[in-house]
Amino acid sequence: MDDLLARGSEKWTKYPPDVLPAWVAEMDFALAPPVRDALVRAVEIGDLGYIGNVDGLIEAMYYFYDRRLGWDLEGQYIALVADVMVGFKELLLVHTQPGDGVIVSPPAYPPYFNDIPHVGRRVVEVPLLADFGVDVDGLDRAFGAGAKALLLCSPHNPSGRVYTKDELAAVAAVAEAHGALVVVDEIHAPLTFGATFTPWQHVLEGGTVLTSASKAFNVPGLKLGFVVGEAASALDETLRYHAGYAGVVAAEAAFSDGDEWLDETIATIAANQRALPELLPEGVRLAHAPEASYLAWLECDFDDPFERFLERGRVALQPGPGFGAAYGRYVRLNVGTRPELVREAVRRMAQALD
């Protein structure tokens, strides 16, 4: 706890110290030792300049994605960007026009709603189905009405849903029929544990994918993301100079030597996720049994669960309405931590309902 309380990152500083943070997508684990060692070495020799030759990183990336996800990246265009959302905005600037509609499927990672208008495009909402599957007919209608692009989160944040190959193929087919761009955010993919993850490029050759080491290895502050696929070739090459060189150091070490840590981390978060249904207090349930990552989407029988848990339980979850207007009775819980802290978070939730 002392180490966690000493952290200055967002998760551990937004709320007063008596509030247990279980909100933003940062994990509480220590860094993977190879990542820590590589960063320490870089600091020790003052190696924190601009991004240079990245051949080692890209090769490590090929092996990592092939080994972990069965995704062969070799020969793909890969653009380095400051983070996944920067990559997404740059794609929109290059491949769509001002005012174009861009589809987002609530419940959706909150920045999706901000970043589309930030680059002068329009959010078009096509909510996911009740089981968090993609509403392909809804997409067809929205593309038919003029939407030019879709941002799909796979695996899905906040539900932890992993899409099947058939579902993804149906999305690819409908987008292709309308000549629309699909951008697939696969940032959580290396943390899949309960299903088989299908890389987007397995249903659409050269398709556009956002990825990063930032979620799987818990280094989002180091600012490095990747845009993969044909659409990435049109991005400005100088974008890489806005990414972090420390992110390159960390990602190369993670992709090369991070498997053991990643396996342990996945085992811990999978066990945390699987324990949740038993632990959750009455009136709060998992909206979907997660198959990937450390976020759990909770549906409550009462209004404003975020405020209630915070004020009466002193536990901070992520408020549901940020994921879409319909989610006033939802919160997102982060279980990327030790099992004791998950139990403590849930105990505080129960206390808030007493």
**Rounded least distance, CB 204 to ligand PLP, Å:** 19
Report the distance separating Cα 22 and Cα 317, nearest Å.
5
Bridging pattern class, strands 284-286 and 225-228: unpaired
Q: Which is nearer to ligand PLP, 24 or 94 (CB)?
A: 24
Report the distance separating Cα 341 and Cα 337, nearest Å.
6
Q: Which is nearer to ligand PLP, 69 or 352 (CB)?
A: 69
Report the distance separating Cα 166 and Cα 142, nearest Å.
20
**Rounded least distance, CB 321 to ligand PLP, Å:** 17
Contacts to ligand PLP by CB under 6 A: 25, 83-85, 109, 153, 157, 185, 187, 212, 214-215, 220, 225
Report the distance separating Cα 109 and Cα 210, nearest Å.
14
Single-letter amino acid code for the residue at 317: L
Instruction: Give start and end residues of each alpha helix (H) in 96-153.
Output: 111-118, 136-144
Q: Which is nearer to ligand PLP, 51 or 85 (CB)?
A: 85
Bridging pattern class, strands 101-104 and 78-81: unpaired
Q: Which is nearer to ligand PLP, 86 or 350 (CB)?
A: 86
Report the distance separating Cα 131 and Cα 101, nearest Å.
25
Report the distance separating Cα 150 and Cα 141, nearest Å.
13
Quick one: tokens of 311? 């004020």
Largest CA distance in the chain: 58
Q: Which is nearer to ligand PLP, 109 or 327 (CB)?
A: 109
**Rounded least distance, CB 332 to ligand PLP, Å:** 10
Instruction: Give start and end residues of each alpha helix (H) in 135-186.
Output: 136-144, 165-178
Count of other CB atoms within 10 angstroms of residue 227: 25
**Rounded least distance, CB 263 to ligand PLP, Å:** 21
Distances (CA, A) of 284 to 123, 180, 329: 30, 38, 10
Q: Which is nearer to ligand PLP, 172 or 243 (CB)?
A: 243
Report the distance separating Cα 278 and Cα 297, nearest Å.
15
**Rounded least distance, CB 278 to ligand PLP, Å:** 26
Q: Which is nearer to ligand PLP, 236 or 301 (CB)?
A: 236
Q: Which is nearer to ligand PLP, 125 or 140 (CB)?
A: 125
**Rounded least distance, CB 295 to ligand PLP, Å:** 7
Quick one: tokens of 91? 């794609």
**Rounded least distance, CB 316 to ligand PLP, Å:** 16
**Rounded least distance, CB 99 to ligand PLP, Å:** 24
Bridging pattern class, strands 101-104 and 149-153: parallel
Q: Which is nearer to ligand PLP, 100 or 186 (CB)?
A: 186
Q: What is the per-residue DSSP string for 259-296? A: HHHHHHHHHHHHHHHHHHHHHSPTTEEESS--SBSSEE
**Rounded least distance, CB 84 to ligand PLP, Å:** 4
